[in-house]
Structure 1
Amino acid sequence: MNYDVRGKIAILTLDEPNKLNALTTGIRTGIREGLQRADKDDEVRVTIITGAGGKAFCAGADIGTFDFDPENARAFFIDAMEVLSAPERALKPVITAVNGIAYGGGFELALASDFILAAESARFAVPEIKLGLLPGFAIVRLQDIVGRAKAKEMSMLGDPIDAMEASRLGIVSRVVPNERLLSDAIALAERIASQPRLAVQMAKSFYNRGLGGDEMRHAIDGFPFLLTHADAREGINAFLEKREPRFDER
């Protein structure tokens, strides 16, 4: 994870493009520590999260590291939910600049931010259903943005949507040309940073009031259960073996 400060703006860059910036242990640690560092820096007013390389913002979980043991799976998911919700819990505003695919956990990380700017090439999806699983953070947040029916459709089909559709659904604040993504994100961050610091932080706190709680716990408890089912093992193995899954048809 690269951490850079430009004036009053901290920029966190997911920096494993060879893995499509998947949520490896290093990137998860970098997200958590980077947002904490920005919150503790009195000079920083706004944080931007983006991805290295032009293909992906973040492709989601590092599926090859999944552990089917229920206890280990629950511990992993608790850690993952803490990371994915970190932008929401951060004291200062967070802008996500999505420069390519934002799938699974990558999409959920963006959902937890205060604003999403998307490059024209951006794509969003919660494809966990194709692995016999369900999204975690998105299952408790997506319907508040796109409505229950659309959230069910996205979660049950797992198909990606483009940047313009994401904008129409209210997921994305702005769609910008690829080459302007970071500069436009910085410009927005600078405008926010020019506003009264305490009022901005309180606005974020007030709008986010009531988030968390039982729905988070339900998501955390549901993930290990699904992971123990044969469909999840088949879906994950098929993904790793680059073949179509053969789910139980009973």
Structure 2
Amino acid sequence: MTDTPYVLRADDDGVTTLTLNRPQARNALSQGMLEALRAALAEIAADASVQVLIIAGSGPAFCAGHDLKELRAGNYAPDYVDALFAACAEVMQAIVDLPKPVIARVHGVATAAGAQLVASADLAFAADDARFATPGVNIGLFCSTPMVALSRNLTRKHAMQMLLSGDLIDADTAFRFGLINEVVPAAELEQRTLAFARQIAGKSPLTLAIGKEAFYRQAELSLADAYAYTSQVMAKNLQAEDAKEGIDAFLGKRQPVWCGR
């Protein structure tokens, strides 16, 4: 146990940053870290003042995945392992389900469940010296749960390349594979990520929530079902006060004033 918080929260005019805070362990996702993340995400989901969430890491790395020392100390007990992976899956799903955009701000390494965290975020900005890998195959433990998020972001062959080789890839390769949105000079990473977060935070929060939910739901549907579903979403969205305000503002050549309804 430790008095040091596993996750640090900072709020800045609609943009909240959660910083993983186990720098000595390269922010490995221990039981405590996962529980702290789960609680923080639940709090942010209910906080109307938060428009956009940034997830970052303290120290030399973004996140090195699961805590292998903790796994070994737990003697790989089935009940403990089941609970750990279920908690990780819950956190990743909570990121996808969060009704606010989530941006991963990546520096150092993001490996195994750390790469899963990047892939689970809606957007990802990475320093030009960042590195990514799903190296479980190298230690006899295939990155099966990280595979879920990776296979929904990368092409199948690129995902399999990472999963089967376990090799570190650089930020430019991660960009080419589709794992991250932008490669930024390390000294500019925080500023660039915050600037983009603020740009998103200027949109209607209701519209962002509607759009994010619809994006992930339609992606799992057939083409015909996706169009049927999103047509209903747009028709319902059009009845919102923010949509009417946005259209009036556009036609009137003025800035919209969002009410979140």
TM-score (norm 2): 0.77
1:166-245 equivalence runs, <5 A:
166-209=174-217
Assess if the C-alpha contact under 8 Å between 2:99 and 2:208 holds in 1.
no
1:65-84 equivalence runs, <5 A:
65-66=70-71, 67-84=75-92
SS of the residue 2:213 aligns to: helix
- 1:35 pairs, out of 22, 41, 46, with 41
Assess if the C-alpha contact under 8 Å between 1:81 and 1:136 holds in 2.
no
1:128 lines up with 2:133 in the alignment: no
Give the deviation of 1:43 after TM superposition: 1.1
1:59 lines up with 2:64 in the alignment: yes
1:154 lines up with 2:159 in the alignment: no
SS of the residue 2:100 aligns to: coil
Equivalents in 2 of 1:138, 1:76: separation in Å? 14
Assess if the C-alpha contact under 8 Å between 2:35 and 2:87 holds in 1.
no
Give the deviation of 1:86 after TM superposition: 2.5
Give the deviation of 1:14 after TM superposition: 0.6
Give the deviation of 1:141 after TM superposition: 2.8
Equivalents in 2 of 1:121, 1:19: separation in Å? 19
SS of the residue 1:118 aligns to: strand
Determine the structure 2 residue equivalent to 1:244. Answer: none
- 2:12 pairs, out of 6, 16, 35, with 6
Assess if the C-alpha contact under 8 Å between 2:31 and 2:84 holds in 1.
no
Equivalents in 2 of 1:75, 1:51: separation in Å? 24
Equivalents in 2 of 1:197, 1:34: separation in Å? 19
Determine the structure 2 residue equivalent to 1:25. Answer: 31
What is the letter of the counterpart of residue 93 of structure 1? P
Assess if the C-alpha contact under 8 Å between 1:121 and 1:162 holds in 2.
yes
Determine the structure 2 residue equivalent to 1:47. Answer: 53
TM-score (norm 1): 0.80
Cα root mean square deviation, aligned: 1.6
Give the deviation of 1:109 after TM superposition: 0.8
Equivalents in 1 of 2:32, 2:152: separation in Å? 30
Equivalents in 2 of 1:120, 1:192: separation in Å? 23
Structure 1 ranges of 4+ moved more than 3 A: none
- Size of the alignment, in residue pairs? 211
1:92-139 residue CA offsets vs partner (Å, 9 max, x unmatched): 110010011000111101111100000111111101111211223332
Determine the structure 1 residue equivalent to 2:252. Answer: none
Percentage identity across paired residues of the two chains: 34
- The structure having more radius of gyration, on CA atoms, is 2
Q: Which has the higher contact order (CA 8 A, sep 6+)?
A: 1
Equivalents in 1 of 2:207, 2:218: separation in Å? 19
Give the deviation of 1:144 after TM superposition: 3.1
What is the letter of the counterpart of residue 203 of structure 2? Q
Assess if the C-alpha contact under 8 Å between 1:4 and 1:12 holds in 2.
yes
Give the deviation of 1:2 after TM superposition: 0.4
Equivalents in 1 of 2:81, 2:11: separation in Å? 35
